[in-house]
Structure 1
Amino acid sequence: MKKAIPFLTLALILVACNSNKEKENNKKENENMNNTENPLLSESKLPYGAPDFSAIKDHHFKPAMLEGIEQQKEAVSAIANSKEAPTFNNTVLALEQSGQLLSRASQVFNALASAHTNETIQAIEEDMAPKFAAQNDMIYLNEALFKRFKILYDKKETLNLDAESLKLLEEYYENFEIEGANLSSEDKEILKQYNERIATLTTKFGKTLLDANNAGAVTFANEEELKGVDADVLKSLQNKDGNGYKIPLQNTTQQPLLQSMENRASREKLYKAAWHRANQGKFDTSELIKELVEVRAQKAKLLGFNNFAEWSLQKTMAKTPANVTKFFNGLIPAATAKAQAEANEIQKMIKSQGQDFTLQPWDWNYYAEMVRKQKYDLDVNQIKPYFEINNVLEKGVFYAANKLYGITYKPRTDIPIYHPDVKVYELFEEDGSQLGLFYTDFFARPSKGGGAWMGNFVTQSKLYNKKPVIYNVCNYPKPANGQPALLTYDEVETMFHEFGHALHGFFADQQYPSLSGTDVARDFVEFPSQFNENWALYPEILKNYAIHYKTGEQIPQALIDKIKNSGTFNQGYSLTENLAGSNLDMQWHTIPANKEIAQVNVFETEALNKTKLDAVQAVPPRYRSTYFSHIFAGGYAAGYYSYSWTEMLHHDAYNWFENNGGLTRENGQRFREMVLSRGNTLNLEKMYKEWRGSDPKIEPMLKARGLK
């Protein structure tokens, strides 16, 4: 069996031939940039070390990151080749302290590459991706460096380290082993090429998908084609010349406006544009997927694993693909059965409207909304006027944080921002001391990737005396000028969700940045965010922020009851589409090396059939493979299951709150101290159990979903 796959053969030769030339070019680029002209080369003078977007330009990023790479290389070389006996300070701490410039520059760059990109940034991203992969290999495949860590790890019990320092040593050592430190020199060279190729392919996938999303925007000629869409929304979609309307694509399969579009042909047009956005022409990602999956499988094989998922799950709560499958098997039958019951209800609704067609995916949301109105007398348009975006954030999300954790805020208009839509807030502890800076970037635009996420401009660390600077990014439709931004309830939950991630970062209380805040396993990191969603409907919180944007009236109890009563509505669909995406991810990443995949679409169809997740024809996967950015461009390869896994945790955790007094300052503080502030300093299962008093149970999740 050959160790290298065919398409890498040429790459191996080219990389070897060009390595010296690349070093010379990098050196020239660094020399050509005057250090005094590049704000990224030194610490920001702004509050909290926030990035100075008034001074940072696109051309600053690459020289700063290249200089950061060189500085870290020199530091690592000094550690690895030291003649002194290894100690925690001269080895573990020294490695932790290397790469400060690289981290500072890349954190800002990665934020813009996702939230406000352009051709220059995309070109830099594509060029730097393999360099970042090589930098990681430079550390973890360094034999001399690993030897020093192994000496310390083998005698860790005698080093008299504090708990966090010991954890840092253990994490580094485990990372060395996972990343291939025990491979032969020959295999390490092959692994380096795999890692560089993976980095290049994921970057290309992300760029191609962004282009596909933008090119896939659907144009409609007149209002009749978009009958049923809210007038204010229509206004925001109108082309600048006043002729026609353009609907941009969201990252998911289903598109929000399908819920209100009366014209069936228009619904089908929008749905199919989303479904086919990335499987045809120059936007087809199929070849990227096949190559990426194969390289990942080859990498796993080289490291001694049967497939990529086995390798990837080593430091997660789930541990193995078998455990993930077992978890899914406990959910799929109930989810698909409920989805089928929902489909039957919708089909009856279609017939009651005098229509004679079989329910299709593009019909689901429109007629499901009719069913919702009939069963619960709830119209989404009744709700949106109470969910004005600023009220949701300041009187909802921030208010909940105040009640639970004592957090207060004030707007900061003096902090430079990277786009006019961005807002900055300073957050404070209950005693008035500073907590950090929080940026919001809520509206969709062509320069932004799809979905919603949280990130750090500055990571909390006692080692560097740093407080966190955190951003939340969403993709809410931007209203027309002068109009309020009104959210659906799902969008409200998204805002609470992303701020849950932010709280995890703000409450970090670690010495070392590598262990700080959200730097935990993927199947735990979504727990604080999903848990925070629970407060969106909590009576005290809801009544504080759900205020009619015109009348100022508080949301009436009758409408609150309707929202709550409909809480389990459409949950069969929701869970099934999520499980379908999660299983696609796991199927792709349990493919063994050298298994040829002829067609992505055929594999996808067979994978869904194998897991019975195609049982309800009208329920497509939340993400189709060709636009599944989480797993082919993000950090969730073999990890998308974590959203369902942590859903189990968050419902179980909220059950504890319900049984212990609910929304109280005492409960919030206990949760902060025992979970949110701990970062990656404890075993996650142990951390949860110590806070909860028991292992998590799945029953609260099933109840919340209406499956029990």
Structure 2
Amino acid sequence: MSETKGAVASNGLDRPLELNPLLDPEPAQPNPLLEPWQTPFETPPFDRIKPEHFMPAFEQAFADHAGEIAAIVNDVAAPDFANTITALERSGKLLSKVASVFYDLVSAHSNPAILEIDKDVSLRMARHWNPIMMNAVLFGRIAALRDNAASLHLKPEQARLLERTYTRFHRAGAGLDDAAKARMAEINERLAHLGTTFSHHLLGDEQEWSMELGENDLDGLSDSFIASARAAAEERGKPGKAIVTTSRSSMEPFLQSSLRRDLREKAYKAFIQRGNNGNANDNNTTIVEILKLREESAKLLGYPTFAAYRLEDSMAKTPEAVRNLLERVWKPARARALADRDALQELIAEEGGNFKLAAWDWRHYAEKLRQRRANFDDAAIKPYLALDNMIAAQFDVATKLFGVTFHERKDVPVWHPDVRVWEVKDAKGEHKALFYGDYFARASKRSGAWMTSLRDQQKLDGDTAPLVLNICNFAKGTNGQPSLLSPDDARTLFHEFGHGLHGMLSNVTYPSLSGTSVFTDFVELPSQLYEHWQERPEVLQQFAKHYQTGEALPDDLLKRFIAARKFNQGFATVEFVSSALIDLEFHTQPASASTDVAAFEKRELEKIGMPEEIALRHRPTQFAHIFSGDHYASGYYSYMWSEVMDADAFGAFEEAGNIFDAATAKRLHDDIYSSGGSVDPEAAYVAFRGRAPEADALLRRRGLLDAA
């Protein structure tokens, strides 16, 4: 008996429940995760779901899925597309349903009970998937179909699915010998545990740290920031206080505006030391073990490094291609950053400061320099970037481009009172999707911003409409005041909504190819491309209204905002590219080179000439992109790879002379946003743009072309 089945039997879930009213007077309570959802659009009944419901639901889901896989493996009929590939696509529905709800709560609204369950589920998930992805009989059926694909007369989407299914199983180790499979399974289980550990450690440090601001600590801070700091304190059980947290929406404006250099230093050091404090949440040993196991798994599969393994199945294909792009951008970015550093030091001296520019000073003096050079600062425009107005703007852009409309619903259950839900309708007024927005920072939510889904679009068994989520960490207003966004926050809002549209506009048959199921270095194209509209005068003139007066954004301020967009791009590009290079080096060098994580980081930064006044955007011990799971491991460069495409892609609208040009928008919808993973990404891009992207578009957008 398998381990999964044994666990199911021990909980009595493999047989009908028989009750003896004398021995068991209390009938088992219903489990909402295992019942049909009698909610609008069959959405998760979050108001009924409790932590204790998850493990029984997972047990049932694992058992159901194992049975479905066994039926495929044991099918005596010769393999064909329907009994193998389609059957695989139909399997695991309950597991997907339960897991999507669970992982939403783990990330967006956790509690100690959920986090404890997460430790068990991550291990159980690995133990469930290992024997499936390494099943020799199942892989044999898939391989036989692939070998005879030419005779199967498949539609293009079916051919793509067959190739992607074969690749997924092959790369999971299905072709290894038994000993190698056993070791790979051990590695996968351990990596699942370590990824969860990394996430929990990071969340722990973020929950434990905050800096209280007294009345004498508020110099330089805007009224909107102070209101947000009070809201953050109230959310953490400190009513009447004001705090800075490690959320970027709290930390970065504080570092920009605070006149208290000592407090900027204290806050900055706490921010960059997350996961690196030598306490119970320290991530150093976790990173070392992750890198060692990734290297071993890659070598089991025949690759020299983990980066070589991961990048083979990407647009970039090789570590060398990634390094070439990053170095092409690094040189002009570093040159610009060094020039800006000198200008910031001059500004300090001019003010009479007798100190050397430090990392906690950069944002503060860069903001002052921007005010001088461009006569613009974030505080001037934030009153015009109320969250509700920017949500309306992102919806309006989608309506003008793709014909979809958004209608708020109050009858859909949510996981937190702050979560809002909109029904999405297509141009014909028919239901297309549900969109959930969870925008505010709180202690129960991990840091960052992301898009995910509770249900993906697919047409295999009737039209299934997606349930798409955007999760952010913006500072919440207080006393009835709206949340005011910085330009970076507003850009983040549009970025995540671009991902959301990728999920909502998906129009494919098979679940494995739905929405964002694309190469990592292509998935950021729809999101980063969408950012362009947030900064356009046509959008800001309509939606950037003063939160108190309703006054439209003044033309003069708009012009100064647009002129200031390329300011400090040396800094922004350096902090990103250095993180991407560190990620690449972690996964191309032998794991033995990084047994001391801090020393490795220092050595690599010295090698590239990292300015000491700039830190990595994500230092290793808080680099959740690459260590809380492996989705972006060796792939953090993807944002920049996609930026080459997005900068070039927006040029199609500029060349058309209209940022809402109907013909260009239709190509964008058909070739990029709706095709999911059903088309090779290079072919998808060329179909939209008519040619391959031009790399200089990225440098031009960031204002770095003259420094190249």
Counterpart position of 1:95: 88
Structure 2 counterpart SS, 1:268: helix
Counterpart position of 1:104: 97
Match for 2:66 among 55, 66, 73? 73
Counterpart position of 2:216: 224
Q: Residue 55 and residue 332 in structure 1: after superposition, are their counterparts in 2 closer, same or farther (change >3 A)?
A: same
**Per-residue deviation, 1:482:** 1.3
Counterpart position of 1:56: 49
Task: Please say which of residues 427-436 and 454-463 is displaced more in the overlay.
Answer: 427-436
Native 8 Å contact 1:253 1:623 kept in 2: no
**Per-residue deviation, 1:251:** 6.0
Counterpart position of 1:369: 367
**Per-residue deviation, 1:214:** 1.2
Counterpart position of 2:21: none
Counterpart position of 2:22: none
Q: CA RMSD in A?
A: 1.8
Deviation per residue, 1:413-461 (Å, 9 max, x gap): 0111110110001111122111111000000000001100001111001
Structure 2 counterpart SS, 1:473: strand
Counterpart position of 1:233: 225
Counterpart position of 1:120: 113
Q: Given the alignment of the two structures, is residue 181 of structure 1 paired with residue 174 of structure 2, yes or no?
A: yes
Counterpart position of 2:516: 518
Q: Given the alignment of the two structures, is residue 29 of structure 1 paired with residue 24 of structure 2, yes or no?
A: no
Whole-Å separation in 2 of the counterparts to 1:483 and 1:676: 35
Whole-Å separation in 1 of the counterparts to 2:386 and 2:699: 31
**Per-residue deviation, 1:312:** 1.1
Native 8 Å contact 1:116 1:448 kept in 2: yes
Percent identity between matched residues is: 38
Structure 1 counterpart SS, 2:438: strand
Q: Given the alignment of the two structures, is residue 160 of structure 1 paired with residue 153 of structure 2, yes or no?
A: yes
Structure 2 counterpart SS, 1:475: strand
Counterpart position of 1:620: 615
**Per-residue deviation, 1:487:** 0.6
Native 8 Å contact 1:412 1:424 kept in 2: yes
Q: Given the alignment of the two structures, is residue 610 of structure 1 paired with residue 607 of structure 2, yes or no?
A: yes
Counterpart position of 2:24: none
Counterpart position of 1:422: 419
Structure 2 counterpart SS, 1:695: coil
Whole-Å separation in 2 of the counterparts to 1:494 and 1:556: 23
**Per-residue deviation, 1:320:** 1.0
Counterpart position of 1:438: 435
Structure 2 counterpart SS, 1:330: helix
Whole-Å separation in 2 of the counterparts to 1:492 and 1:304: 44
Counterpart position of 2:138: 145
**Per-residue deviation, 1:363:** 0.3
Q: Given the alignment of the two structures, is residue 260 of structure 1 paired with residue 257 of structure 2, yes or no?
A: yes
**Per-residue deviation, 1:556:** 1.0
Q: Which amino acid aligns with 2:446?
A: G
**Per-residue deviation, 1:333:** 0.7
Counterpart position of 1:6: none
Match for 2:126 among 133, 141, 146? 133
**Per-residue deviation, 1:20:** 6.5
Counterpart position of 2:31: 38
Counterpart position of 1:4: none
**Per-residue deviation, 1:278:** 1.6
Q: Which amino acid aligns with 2:431?
A: Q
Whole-Å separation in 2 of the counterparts to 1:111 and 1:597: 33
Native 8 Å contact 1:457 1:471 kept in 2: yes
Task: Please say which of residues 126-135 and 382-391 is displaced more in the overlay.
Answer: 126-135
Q: Which amino acid aligns with 2:177?
A: S
Question: What does 1:343-362 align with in structure 2 at a 5 Å threshold?
Answer: 343-362=341-360
Deviation per residue, 1:253-312 (Å, 9 max, x gap): 963310011010010010011122221211211010111111111111111111111111
Deviation per residue, 1:627-669 (Å, 9 max, x gap): 1111101421111100111111100001121001322233212
Q: Given the alignment of the two structures, is residue 275 of structure 1 paired with residue 297 of structure 2, yes or no?
A: no
Q: Residue 457 and residue 571 in structure 1: after superposition, are their counterparts in 2 closer, same or farther (change >3 A)?
A: same
Native 8 Å contact 2:229 2:250 kept in 1: no
Q: Given the alignment of the two structures, is residue 682 of structure 1 paired with residue 679 of structure 2, yes or no?
A: yes
Deviation per residue, 1:25-69 (Å, 9 max, x gap): 443336399887112224423233211112222221221122111
Structure 2 counterpart SS, 1:623: coil
Q: Which amino acid aligns with 1:228?
A: G
Whole-Å separation in 1 of the counterparts to 2:203 and 2:511: 31
Q: Given the alignment of the two structures, is residue 655 of structure 1 paired with residue 651 of structure 2, yes or no?
A: yes
Structure 1 counterpart SS, 2:436: strand
Q: Residue 450 and residue 181 in structure 1: after superposition, are their counterparts in 2 closer, same or farther (change >3 A)?
A: same
Match for 2:457 among 446, 449, 460? 460
Task: Please say which of residues 181-190 and 242-251 is displaced more in the overlay.
Answer: 242-251
Counterpart position of 1:85: 78
Native 8 Å contact 1:458 1:468 kept in 2: yes
Match for 2:196 among 171, 193, 203? 203
Counterpart position of 2:634: 638
Counterpart position of 2:288: 290
Q: Residue 461 and residue 21 in structure 1: after superposition, are their counterparts in 2 closer, same or farther (change >3 A)?
A: closer
Whole-Å separation in 2 of the counterparts to 1:292 and 1:454: 25
**Per-residue deviation, 1:21:** 6.9
Unaligned runs of 5+ residues in structure 1 are: 1-18
Structure 2 counterpart SS, 1:144: helix
Native 8 Å contact 1:226 1:266 kept in 2: no
Native 8 Å contact 1:208 1:285 kept in 2: yes
Q: Residue 42 and residue 161 in structure 1: after superposition, are their counterparts in 2 closer, same or farther (change >3 A)?
A: farther
Counterpart position of 1:382: 380
Whole-Å separation in 1 of the counterparts to 2:624 and 2:317: 23
Question: What does 1:537-686 align with in structure 2 at a 5 Å threshold?
Answer: 537-592=535-590, 595=592, 597-612=594-609, 614=610, 616-634=611-629, 635-661=631-657, 662-686=659-683
Whole-Å separation in 2 of the counterparts to 1:402 and 1:120: 41
Native 8 Å contact 1:253 1:271 kept in 2: no
Q: Residue 283 and residue 506 in structure 1: after superposition, are their counterparts in 2 closer, same or farther (change >3 A)?
A: same
Whole-Å separation in 2 of the counterparts to 1:692 and 1:346: 41
Counterpart position of 1:249: 246
Structure 1 counterpart SS, 2:422: strand
Native 8 Å contact 1:583 1:608 kept in 2: no
Whole-Å separation in 2 of the counterparts to 1:251 and 1:64: 35
Deviation per residue, 1:155-181 (Å, 9 max, x gap): 011011111112111111111111111
Whole-Å separation in 2 of the counterparts to 1:327 and 1:596: 24
Whole-Å separation in 2 of the counterparts to 1:30 and 1:560: 65
**Per-residue deviation, 1:223:** 2.4
Whole-Å separation in 2 of the counterparts to 1:42 and 1:186: 41
Q: Residue 35 and residue 74 in structure 1: after superposition, are their counterparts in 2 closer, same or farther (change >3 A)?
A: farther
Q: Structure 2 length as normaliser, TM-score?
A: 0.94
Structure 1 counterpart SS, 2:412: coil
**Per-residue deviation, 1:243:** 6.9
